[in-house]
Every structure is written in C-alpha cells, then in structure tokens.
C-alpha cells in the first residue's frame, strides 16, 4: 500500500514538510476541502522518510480492514493483530477521506506508527485533543495548506499570471496547479478546456474514463495513463491509478456524455467487475444491466451489488440471480423469494437459482429449512442434462450441502462424485468438490490416505489460491501427525506457517509445530498472538497444547471444547473428565487414544484400528510403543524401527528383524561403527576382537591370536566374555543380528568395498576409499599383515593405471617411492610438462637427502641433470 508521488511537476513544500513529525508515536491531521494537496503532502512526507508506508481511503472500506490487507492479514483481523503488525517495523500510515465515523480509537490510543489523518471536515475523535495537549499531534488546515504567493510563483516557474491565479483561488492548490499546467484561469470550465488543450487526445480520453472509475489497476494502464500520472493528474494508490476528486467531480458534472463515451469504448479493455463500476458511476444504467445479464463470471462483492439493489431489481433474470445470491450472502432472507421467481427461466438460470436456494436454505445461520432445500435439490437434478457440464457440476457441489445437513453423507458423496464427473478437467471449480469429497470419505469410511492424496493433488491445481494454501498445508501436517510421520508433518506445518493467504490457519500450524518440537517459549508467544486475534478456537487449542507441554492442567481448567477437556483428562489421569464422544472421526481417534492411555482397555485399541483404513499405521501418532500390549507384537509393525529396537518387546523386534539395516563399519583412516541406533563405541579388547572378526577369522583363531599364552579353554573363556560385551554394544535389542556363531554378518565395511574395487580393477573407487592407517589405534601382527597386503594391492593397481592422479597419491603415501616417481615424471614429459616433472624430481631429491642422507639413483640423477640443463 505504498504511496507513489514521483511526478516531477509537484512542488516540494518545505515550509509544510518541516512542520511534520518524522517518528513513530506522532500524528498529523490534514483538514481541508478537496484539492488542497493533502495527499500530495503525505506522499512527499513518505518520500522524505523512506519508511514502510501504508495508504488507505475510507471511501474504499473500514480503515482497520484496509490496514489489515496492507499488512498481508485477512480483512477481519481485529485491531490487536493489526497493531502488532504495525509495530513490526517503523511505518507511516496515511488514512484519507475520513468522516469521523470510523472506529480508530485503538490506533489513536497506541499510535504504533506515524499517522497522517486527512479529512474534509473536522474529526470528532476524542483522542485527538489529548494528543494535541501532549504535543504529539500536528494540525494543518486550509489556511496552512493554501499556497503562498511565493509558492505560486515557484509553481508557475516565473511565468506571468501567477498573481492573478493566486488571488482568484486564494491559494487553493489543485486549481492553482491546473491553471499553471494549462495557462487558463482557475474556473471549472476554463480548467477543463485548458486540460483538453494541454493533453493529447488519448490522454484526455483516458482522464474521462478514470473519472468513472474508483481506480484503474496498474495491469490495465496504458501509456496515456502513465503520462497523466507523470503530469501530476493521477494518484497511484495500492489499488491502482485514481483521478483527483476535484477533477473527477468536474468531469462527471460538465463532461458526462464524453465520460460515458469513454466508458463504452473501454468495454473490451476493463475486467467486467470494473466495467460495471464505470457504468454505474457514469449513469449508464442500461449498460450495467446488460453487462450483468451476460452469462459470465463477474466478481463484484456482495456488498457492492446490494448498493445497486434498486437498479438490479429492475433488471433481467441474471441481474436478479446475482442480487438474490448477494442478499443471502449478507444474511438477508428476501434473497430466497427473488431466486424463487427465477425458477421458470431458461435452464441455466433456473439451475443456478436452484443451487443457491438448496445451499442457503440448508444453512443453519439462515434458519435452515431442509424440506424446502431438498425440494429445490430434487428439482435441480431434473435440469442437469439441459446445461453445460460446468454449471451442472457447480450445482451438484452446492446441493451436496443438503444431504450433508440431513445426516445423509453417502448421498452427499454421490452428488460430489457426480459433480467431478461433469466438471471439465480444466475447470477452476473442481477444487471445491475435491476437498469436500475427500473430507466426506474420511468421515464416512476412514479413508485417511485418500484425504491426504486429495489435499496433496489439490496443491498442484492451477486454480489453487493463496487463501486455500495455509489451511490445506496445516491439514496435511495434522494428518501426517496422525500417522506418526513427524518429519513429513513438520515439513507441511513449516510451509503452512510461512504461506500467505490465511494467517489464522498459519498461526494454528505454527502452534502445532511448536508443540511438536517441544518449544514452550514459541508456543506461549503464539498463544498470545491468538489472544490478539480474539479467536476462541485458537486460544483454546493453544492453551491445551501448552498445558500438555508444561504438564499444567490449570491452563485448561474451566475451558470448554474438545481438545482442552481431553488434555485436562490426560493431565489429571481421570477418564471421567473426558469430553463426550465426538462426531468427527479425527476427534474420535484422539478420544479413544486418550481413553486407552488412561484405562488400558483393549476395546479402545481395537476402535483405533478400525476407525481408519490404515489399521495399525494410525497407532504411532496416537500411542507410545511402550503402552501396546506385549501379546500383540504385530501392532509394532507401523512404529519407526529405531523405536522398536530401543523399546522392544523382543517379539516385535523378531517380526521386524529383516528390516534392520547393516552395521556400517569404517576402518580406513578411522575406526567407526554405526548401527541403526547411532554410533557404536567399542572399548578395550572389544575393538581388537571386532577387528579380527572383521578379517574373517573364526573364534578359535581370534582367541589364540589375542591370548597366545593361555590354554585353549582359558583363551576361549576370555573371548566369550568379550563377545558378550561386544554383542551388548552391537545389538542392544537382544536379538542376534550382526554377531553370529559363525562370525560377523550384515556388515558393510569400507575395507570390504576397497577389496572389491581392487579385485575388479576399479582404481577410481580405490582412490576414493583408501586412507591410512588401516585399523587405526590397534597393534597386532595379523592387522599389520593385512595393512601390508592392502597397501601393496593398492600400489600395484595405481602403478598399473600409470596416470598422474594415482601416481601422485602413491607419492603422498610414500614420498620415496622411486618407481611411482619415475612413472610420474615420464608421464609429465610425454605431455610436455617439463617444469612439472622437474618439480617432482627436485622434491624427491631434497626429501631423500633430508630423511636418508642419500642421493637419487644414477638414472634419476641423469634425468634431473638433463632437465635442469
């Protein structure tokens, strides 16, 4: 909602700007008739300060709602949330066209911004005198805003006529500006004529069109629009370009036929809802009715249609159709009779009216008359084959509300499925029945995965809107929580928390995420935000989640609602405090889980298994593994393997034994073991025992190798002691997995991978794997022998390859390897790299002398001399 006053023709009025405050916590009241430059002055203040600027006109709505929209919040956001948004960073707020009837007390009491109020009349807000007394309010009236003679001279750029114009206007800025622009005297007729002569034909016609529009979105601007803006005749607001009110009034009063002509010529250029506004403002009532009679989508808000109510009642069937729905949307039941009068029109109009009637007569907030709603549903079904598929699908989606409210979800599901069959694949209206159908299937059949799939597919739909996104992402997070898939749940909740379009859904997602991560501080802050929103559902939910984290039942005592009462029962360990059995399937799952935690009755466990189509997969998100009955180990199948290995029982581990991943072992360059529960630390002889077993030695040989001075029996006894300790470290779940009678099993070792690479001649893989030392920190002849064997195999393969990459690695391992050096130098010389070959030889010579006090072989010495010469 940033202001934009970049036109070079405006005179910066330092006399006034220097009187205005520049910090948050202060207010300015600009009070003067139209055309006194109130908006221009506010815009110049914004340009001078460079802070975030929000602009709102009371003509376009309630200031609270306008500010909420500018902050990316829903328009219904309460003042508490809006004020918090304004505090987030220094902000200039400009509110113009105020009448004094606006509810601004919360804003004026706290002033979390630098506030500019613009009005044509005095404002009666009781906070203004107090701010004035505190020195926090600057008032500028018409006498202040009027141009001085010197400012008029500057505006005219020294041209003649400024004194006469200043005297005629009394310094009134807009007619003075127009007089300077056109060179005409400042009377309405003269100014309009001057504008006609000063502007191109396209620019003047564009100005006439803008006289009939509340705003022109930037997307629909033309070069003529931009030119008018650069000449200072338009304002750029968040909604788009706007003509100055005084010029708008002059054009509509004096040039109405030309304005009407400009509007009619713009029919193909403007979106229908904006064209409707232009028809109404310019008095083209018949054109407006003709537009509303066309079978097209016109996204005019219901409140705006009601402002045209008297006219629409005289229109044709589609105009009345639009009015009838708007009346019902605004809670006015006379919309029913208006729609009923359309039931004998042609099928497309009649079916649309029947859909509205069925839907709104099933609405509890409108009194709910289900018999009449049912009658209109049945009547509409007879018209389905007489209309296009999209209209039929929209009717069926609306009409499904009737059986749903009647308690006939199966019938509602059938209607939604038929809606999807009739709606074209590319129709933007498919989103509604898809969502409704997935929810119904979950409620009726427990089709949890189907609901997840529908929501995930819906996110890929081209008709997907920002307003839908946070709620659907939050729902996906909640559904994955039910399945115990915490990481997927976190991912969706994080996306929901950050998604624009629905701050309340995003806030609930953030609460669930903070609870999932055990972050009490974050959850407490989010609860405070919910209280600012004055949303009882979110407050109750937040308090319940926080109570569970803190283990504090006092946070939910006395609160109504399912989740607070469920949490209270769990925290007090009292099943009598559970809420009544709920109707919604998701709540039933949590209810049975809570009751099972409290009473341990298997009937609740069975209910959990039968409430969805996923069976035991639902358990990890609802019950800890430790609470499952030991005689039903199959229920642990859905729990994370790591959890089963940590907690058992042994029978459950046996059922999952095939899923246990291999033991990962690194002995090249470092000694590290990692099992499914994380790193495994081996100490003392256990490390040597494991290393010798890794070499493939049988137990008897391991015992003799480690205790050669003991008898065979004593050595084996020692080995069994260390094997028991090794087994405890490797397999804490108590089921033999890696350490078997015949040796190690299910082990993935880097040594094994290296030996495979050597056997297959894969030098590149061997280069990646080979690090020294092998079995670091261990000293035993058998290990030394394996170290020698592995190194010589690596060396042989690298020499065979003969490429610099491998030869240089050999020299890193053994800088005095003459064979590797010779091959490397010869390869460099073949590639014309004489200097590089010389560097290798010089390095070898110096190191040989430093470490052994010897000179290179005669062959290398001769080569060195030849290259040096």
> For the segment 607-663, what is each residue's pLDDT rounded down to a tens digit?
999 999 999 999 999 999 999 999 999 999 999 999 999 998 999 999 999 999 999
Contact 11, 121 (CB under 8 A): no
| Cα–Cα dist 540/476, whole Å | 21
Rg of the chain, C-alpha, whole Å:
41
Q: Do you find a cis peptide bond into 773, omega within 30 degrees of 0?
A: yes
What's the confidence (pLDDT) of residue 702?
95
H helical segments located in 5-155: 14-17, 38-49, 63-70, 79-87, 105-110, 127-133, 142-145, 149-155
Q: What is the dihedral of CA 418, 422, 424, 428, to 10 degrees?
A: -60
H/E run at residue 234: strand 234-236
What is the phi/psi pair of residue 615, to 5°? 60, -130
Residues with pLDDT less than 50, the chain: 1-8, 462
Q: What is the dihedral of CA 165, 171, 177, 178, to 10 degrees?
A: -60
- What are the residues facing 235 on neighbouring strands? 242
Q: Which two tokens stand for residue 328?
A: 């019902």
Q: Which residue has the tokens 């010798």?
A: 692
Could you list the beta-strand ranges (E) of 285-341: none
Contact 17, 45 (CB under 8 A): yes
- What are the residues facing 749 on neighbouring strands? 665
| Cα–Cα dist 517/645, whole Å | 23
Residues 6+ apart with CB under 8 A from 793: 755, 758
Residues 6+ apart with CB under 8 A from 281: 211, 212, 213, 214, 252
What's the confidence (pLDDT) of residue 324?
94
Contact 840, 868 (CB under 8 A): no
- What are the residues facing 54 on neighbouring strands? 93
Contact 753, 771 (CB under 8 A): no
| Cα–Cα dist 617/621, whole Å | 8
| Exposure on the CB side of residue 561, measured as CA atoms within 13 A | 16
What's the confidence (pLDDT) of residue 501?
64
What's the confidence (pLDDT) of residue 663?
97
What's the confidence (pLDDT) of residue 7?
40
What's the confidence (pLDDT) of residue 499?
81
What's the confidence (pLDDT) of residue 468?
64
What's the confidence (pLDDT) of residue 429?
87
| Cα–Cα dist 294/316, whole Å | 10
What is the phi/psi pair of residue 448, to 5°? -70, -45
| Cα–Cα dist 49/428, whole Å | 44
Burial annotation 373-382 (CB, 10 A radius, 16+ → b, else e): bbbbbeebbe
Q: Any idea what the Cα angle at residue 654 is, between residues 649 and 659, rounded to 5°?
A: 115
pLDDT tens per residue across span 48-89 = 898 999 999 998 889 999 999 899 888 778 999 999 999 999
| Cα–Cα dist 275/269, whole Å | 9
Query: What does each C-alpha distance from 518 to 483, 549, 551 come to in angstroms?
Result: 19, 7, 12
Contact 291, 276 (CB under 8 A): yes
Residues 6+ apart with CB under 8 A from 555: 543, 544, 546, 547
Give me the numbers of helices (H) and strands (E) for the chain, helices first please.
48, 13
- The distance in angstroms from the start CA to the end CA of the chain is 78
| Cα–Cα dist 776/793, whole Å | 19
DSSP string, 521-536: HHHHHHHHHHHHHT-H
Query: What does each C-alpha distance from 664 to 147, 209, 742, 764 come to in angstroms?
Result: 83, 75, 19, 22
Burial annotation 726-754 (CB, 10 A radius, 16+ → b, else e): bbebbbebeeebbbeeebbeebebbbebb
What's the confidence (pLDDT) of residue 301?
78
DSSP classification of residue 216: B
What's the confidence (pLDDT) of residue 329?
79
Query: Does pTM top 0.85 for this prediction?
Result: no
What's the confidence (pLDDT) of residue 170?
65
**Using CA of residue 617, residue 622, residue 625, residue 629, what is the dihedral sign?**
negative
What count of other Cβ atoms lies within 10 Å of the Cβ of residue 586? 19
| Cα–Cα dist 670/490, whole Å | 35
User: What is the separation of C-alpha 851 from the centre of its chain, rounded to a whole number of angstroms?
Assistant: 64
């Amino acid at each position: 909602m940033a202001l934009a006053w970049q036109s070079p023709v405006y005179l910066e009025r330092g006399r006034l700007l220097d009187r205005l405050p520049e910090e948050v916590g202060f207010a300015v009241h600009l009070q003067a008739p139209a055309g006194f430059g109130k908006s221009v002055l506010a815009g110049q203040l914004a340009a001078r300060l460079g802070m975030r600027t929000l602009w709102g006109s009371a003509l376009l709505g309630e200031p609270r709602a306008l500010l909420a929209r500018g902050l990316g919040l829903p328009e219904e956001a309460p003042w508490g949330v809006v004020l918090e948004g304004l505090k987030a960073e220094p902000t200039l707020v400009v509110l113009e066209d105020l009448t004094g009837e606006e509810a601004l007390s919360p804003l004026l009491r706290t002033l979390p911004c630098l506030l500019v109020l613009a009005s044509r009349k005095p404002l009666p807000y009781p906070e203004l005198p107090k701010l004035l007394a505190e020195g926090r309010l600057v008032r500028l009236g018409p006498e202040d805003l009027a141009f001085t003679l010197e400012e008029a001279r500057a505006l005219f750029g020294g041209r003649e006529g400024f004194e006469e114009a200043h005297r005629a206007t009394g310094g009134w800025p807009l007619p003075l500006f127009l007089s300077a622009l056109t060179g005409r005297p400042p009377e309405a007729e003269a100014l309009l004529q001057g504008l006609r002569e000063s502007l191109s034909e396209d620019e003047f016609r564009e100005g006439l069109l803008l006289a009939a529009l509340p705003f022109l979105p930037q997307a629909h601007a033309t070069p003529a629009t931009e030119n008018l803006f650069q000449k200072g005749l338009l304002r750029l607001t968040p909604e788009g370009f706007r003509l100055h009110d005084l010029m708008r009034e002059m054009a509509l009063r004096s040039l109405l036929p030309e304005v009407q002509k400009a509007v009619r010529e713009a029919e193909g250029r403007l979106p229908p809802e904006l064209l409707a506004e232009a028809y109404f403002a310019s008095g083209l009532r018949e054109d407006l009715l003709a537009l509303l009679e066309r079978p097209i989508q016109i996204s005019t808000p219901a409140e705006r249609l009601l402002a045209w109510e008297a006219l629409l009642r005289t229109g044709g069937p589609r105009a009345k159709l639009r009015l009838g729905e708007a009346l019902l949307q605004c809670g006015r039941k006379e919309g029913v009779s208006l729609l009923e009068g359309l039931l004998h029109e042609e099928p497309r109009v009649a079916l649309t009216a029947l859909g509205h009637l069925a839907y709104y007569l099933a609405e509890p907030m409108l009194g709910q008359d289900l018999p009449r709603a049912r009658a209109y549903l049945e009547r509409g079904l007879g018209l389905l084959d007489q209309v296009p598929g999209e209209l039929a699908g929209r009717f069926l989606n609306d009409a499904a509300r009737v059986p749903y409210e009647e308690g006939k979800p199966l019938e509602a599901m059938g209607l939604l499925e038929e809606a999807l069959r009739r709606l074209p694949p590319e129709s933007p209206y498919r989103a509604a029945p898809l969502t409704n159908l997935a929810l119904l299937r979950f409620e009726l059949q427990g089709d949890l995965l189907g609901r997840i799939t529908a929501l995930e597919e819906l996110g890929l739909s081209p008709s997907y809107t920002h307003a839908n996104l946070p709620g659907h992402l939050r729902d996906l997070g909640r559904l994955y929580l039910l399945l115990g898939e915490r990481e997927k749940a976190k991912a969706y909740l994080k996306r929901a928390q950050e998604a624009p379009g629905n701050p309340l859904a995003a806030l609930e997602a953030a609460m669930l995420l903070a609870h999932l991560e055990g972050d009490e501080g974050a959850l407490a802050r989010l609860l405070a935000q919910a209280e600012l929103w004055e949303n009882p559902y979110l407050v109750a939910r937040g308090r319940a989640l926080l109570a569970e984290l803190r283990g504090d039942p006092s946070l939910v005592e006395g609160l109504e609602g399912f989740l607070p009462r469920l949490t209270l029962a769990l925290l007090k360990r009292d099943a009598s405090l559970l809420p009544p059995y709920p109707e919604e399937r998701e709540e039933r799952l949590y209810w049975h889980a809570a009751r099972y935690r409290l009473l341990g009755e298997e009937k609740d466990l069975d209910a959990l298994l039968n409430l969805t189509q996923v069976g035991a997969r639902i358990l990890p998100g609802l019950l800890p593994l430790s609470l499952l009955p030991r005689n039903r180990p199959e229920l642990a199948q859905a729990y994370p393997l790591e959890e089963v290995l940590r907690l058992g029982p042994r029978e459950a581990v046996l059922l999952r034994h095939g899923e246990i991943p291999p033991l990962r072992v690194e002995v090249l360059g470092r000694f590290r073991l990692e099992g499914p529960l994380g790193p495994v630390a081996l100490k003392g002889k256990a490390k040597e025992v494991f290393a010798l077993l890794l070499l493939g030695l049988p137990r008897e040989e391991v015992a003799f190798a480690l205790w050669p001075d003991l008898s065979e029996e004593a050595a084996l006894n020692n080995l069994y002691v260390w094997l028991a300790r090794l087994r405890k470290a490797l397999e804490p779940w108590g089921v033999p997995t890696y350490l078997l009678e015949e040796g190690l099993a299910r082990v993935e070792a880097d040594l094994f991978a290296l030996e495979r690479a050597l056997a297959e001649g894969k030098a590149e893989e061997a280069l990646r794997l080979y690090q020294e030392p092998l079995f670091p920190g261990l000293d035993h002849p058998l290990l030394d022998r394996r170290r020698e064997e592995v190194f010589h195999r690596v060396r042989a393969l690298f020499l065979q390859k003969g490429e610099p990459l491998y030869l240089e690695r050999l020299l890193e391992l053994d800088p005095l390897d003459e064979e590797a050096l010779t091959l490397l130098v010869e390869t460099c010389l073949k590639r014309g790299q004489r200097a590089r070959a010389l560097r290798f030889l010089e390095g070898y010579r110096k190191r040989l002398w430093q470490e052994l006090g010897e000179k290179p072989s005669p062959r290398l010495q001769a080569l060195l001399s030849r290259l040096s010469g």
